[in-house]
């Protein structure tokens, strides 16, 4: 009532020049106002008071309702699980604690179900076999932790049924293929089940015209190339001897051929994957290119079996090189050798491979007994050329010229297959030659996997060797010189562990300072989880953790690898 009266008084002060409507047949604003407010003056004073009281009470009720319902609405909004539904990342502090059941009773019941899937001969719990599936002398592992059972599937369906049992019973599972991991990815940190793919070792199909193959995870790359050679085909990724396709996909590995052919991710077209709940997923079809949805294949490559278990893979292959030649070139320093490689890269010369071994690596090769040749103990480039005869000849000539420009000491080359194998053996066995020099059976081994821009390679290799020398340790450095990836390897006694850990950490942090990465091909696994956030930042690591829990909410698959899932998961140190 009060508001009506005030409005009317204001309107009375407003004098319209005319009461005529602006358009024929319609009332003006003043006419509408007169018609609405005049009844107010014809109402008795008692009615006016009643109207005012009614309006005041209504207003008070409205204010009370608003004051009650707004806080209630806010309280309800605050009670929603915002972290689970609205956050794009998952910080470690908010990650759900894995609740696994690896009690004797649960594992015993699971064993009966697993026997029903793979048979009695598909189960193994021999202590020595359990240990060998969880740790090796070159792969870090926390203490004596290992799986309680090893299960041997034969096909994708077996793996799916195994994971359904594990999912229903909350039993963690770790995949195992070649066992050549250097990052601790094969360690069964939570016990549970080890799924050994050694019986899934078949080359399923070779599509010669399409130049691709379909393989199971325990096919070795060397065995695959032996079969492909019969068809004049070739699969380029060549990590260490014994590596198998499943592990190669898990780490996103490469090898000596990476300079020309790229890494494992460039050769995987599609994968068949079993997820944590047993769901079977095919990440793509066989065409060389596809933009059909998210690139799930690339998501799986390099995930170390934390998102799914690869049971089949479609791999690209290429033509076997028509001609090959190998050259071994010695230099007075690693810097001179790297300068030669930089010139090669800048000129766009597509060498098949270019590898650098420092003098310590060459010394290890001489003493390791894997090579019949005595090598000069000085920084050495191992170069592989491939292509037509004319192309190879031109590459060799250019390489000679560039090496001479940078003061090479010697240049030895051969196109004879036996000589090529003999020369390249020194490179492929350099790591094992160092391991063979253990002073004591209990000595430990560790290797870095840092990659930096090529222009910084010689600098960081020399810094690494200097640290090893000052500490009085036995070690060496070799590198994939064409892409800046190098491995500093150290043998040490347990008493020197603190010193070695500091050297390794210093090299890794130095690599990051040079805009590099702590791992070019071995993977993060168990050993490099904490330094991953130094390289990429917490946001990226939290995003990875969110992906992990989105696909594996119970954290069953290779738990604790790549990203931590608990602030203190008992895996701070991998020895």
Quote the CA–CA distance of 9 and 31 in Å, as a whole number: 15
Residue with tokens 């990226």: 540
- Give the residue-averaged pLDDT of 41-55: 61
Q: Which of 237, 116, 194, 88 is CA-nearest to residue 540?
A: 88
Quote the CA–CA distance of 476 and 481 in Å, as a whole number: 15
- pLDDT tens for 315-350 read 999 999 999 999 999 999 999 999 999 999 999 888
Quote the CA–CA distance of 459 and 238 in Å, as a whole number: 26
Quote the CA–CA distance of 568 and 456 in Å, as a whole number: 36
Residue 374, pLDDT > 50, answer yes
Quote the CA–CA distance of 547 and 360 in Å, as a whole number: 42
- pLDDT tens for 258-295 read 999 999 999 999 999 999 999 999 999 999 999 999 99
Half-sphere exposure of 125 (CA within 13 A, CB side): 12
Query: Can you spell out the DSSP letters for 49-99?
Result: HHHHHHHHHHHHHHHHHHHHHHHHHHHHHHTS-HHHHH-SS--GGGSPPP-
DSSP state of 20: S
Query: Can you spell out the DSSP letters for 370-417?
Result: S-SSPPPSS-EEEEEEEESHHHHHHHHHHHHHHHHHTT-SEEEEE--H
Residue 572: pLDDT band (50, 70, 90) is: very low
**Interior CA angle at 385 toward 384 and 389, to 5°?**
150
Structure confidence at residue 179 (pLDDT): 87
Provide the pairing of β-strand 323-330 with 410-414: antiparallel
Q: How far apart are the first and last CA of the chain?
A: 84
Contact 78, 141 (CB under 8 A): no
The answer regarding whether domain 323-527 maps to CATH 3.40.462.10 reads: yes
Quick one: CATH architecture of 100-320? 2-Layer Sandwich (3.30)
pTM to 2 decimal places: 0.82
Residue extents of the structural domains in the chain = 2-76, 100-320, 323-527
Quote the CA–CA distance of 140 and 391 in Å, as a whole number: 44
């Amino acid at each position: 009532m009060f508001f009506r009266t005030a409005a009317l008084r204001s309107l009375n002060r407003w004098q319209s020049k005319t009461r005529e409507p602006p358009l024929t047949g319609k009332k003006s604003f003043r006419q509408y106002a007169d018609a609405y407010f005049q009844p107010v003056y014809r109402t008795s004073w008692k009615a006016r008071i009643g109207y005012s009281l009614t309006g005041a009470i209504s207003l008070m009720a409205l204010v009370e309702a608003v004051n009650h319902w707004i806080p209630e609405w806010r309280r309800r909004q605050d009670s929603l699980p915002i972290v689970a539904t609205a956050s794009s990342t998952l910080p470690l502090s908010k990650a759900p604690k894995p609740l696994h059941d690896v009690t004797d009773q649960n594992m015993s019941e699971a064993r009966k179900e697993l026997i029903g899937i793979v048979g009695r001969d598909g189960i193994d719990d021999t202590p020595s076999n359990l240990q060998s599936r969880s740790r090796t002398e070159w792969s870090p592992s926390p203490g004596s932790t290992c799986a309680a059972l090893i299960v041997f599937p034969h096909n994708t369906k077996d793996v799916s049924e195994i994971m359904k049992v594990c999912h229903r019973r909350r039993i963690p599972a770790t995949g195992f293929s070649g066992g050549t991991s250097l990052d601790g990815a094969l360690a069964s940190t939570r016990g549970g089940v080890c799924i050994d793919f050694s019986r899934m070792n078949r080359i399923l199909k070779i599509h010669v015209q399409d130049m691709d193959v379909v393989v199971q995870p325990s096919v070795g790359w060397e065995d695959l190339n032996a079969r492909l050679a019969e068809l004049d085909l070739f699969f380029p990724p060549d990590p260490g001897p014994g590596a198998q396709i499943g592990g190669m996909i898990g780490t996103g590995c490469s090898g000596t051929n990476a300079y020309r052919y790229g890494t494992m991710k460039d050769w995987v077209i599609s994968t068949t994957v079993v997820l944590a709940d047993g769901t079977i997923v095919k990440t793509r079809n066989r065409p060389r290119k596809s933009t059909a949805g998210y690139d799930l294949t690339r998501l799986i490559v390099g995930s170390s079996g934390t998102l799914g278990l690869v049971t089949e893979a479609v791999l690209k292959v290429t033509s076997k090189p028509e001609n090959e030649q190998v050259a071994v070139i010695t230099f007075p320093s690693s810097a001179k050798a790297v300068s030669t490689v930089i010139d090669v890269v800048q000129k766009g010369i597509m060498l098949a491979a270019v590898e650098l071994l420092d003098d310590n690596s060459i010394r290890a090769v001489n003493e390791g007994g894997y090579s019949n040749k005595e090598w000069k103990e000085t920084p050495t480039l191992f170069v592989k050329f491939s292509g037509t005869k004319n192309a190879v000849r031109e590459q060799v000539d250019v390489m000679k010229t560039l090496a001479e420009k940078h003061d090479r000491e010697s240049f030895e080359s051969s196109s004879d297959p036996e000589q090529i194998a003999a020369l390249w053996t020194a490179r492929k066995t350099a790591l094992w030659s160092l391991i063979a020099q253990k002073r004591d059976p209990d000595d430990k081994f560790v290797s870095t996997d840092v990659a930096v821009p090529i222009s910084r390679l010689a600098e960081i290799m020399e810094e690494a060797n200097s640290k090893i020398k000052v500490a009085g340790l036995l070690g060496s450095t070799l590198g994939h010189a064409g892409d800046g990836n190098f491995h500093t390897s150290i043998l040490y006694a347990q008493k020197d562990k603190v010193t070695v850990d500091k050297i390794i950490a210093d090299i890794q942090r130095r690599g990051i300072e040079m805009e590099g990465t702590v791992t070019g091909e071995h993977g993060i696994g168990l050993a490099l989880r904490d330094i991953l956030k130094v390289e990429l930042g917490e946001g990226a690591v939290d995003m990875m953790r969110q992906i992990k829990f989105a696909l594996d909410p119970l954290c069953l698959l290779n738990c604790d690898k790549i990203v931590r899932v608990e602030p203190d998961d008992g895996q701070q140190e991998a020895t």
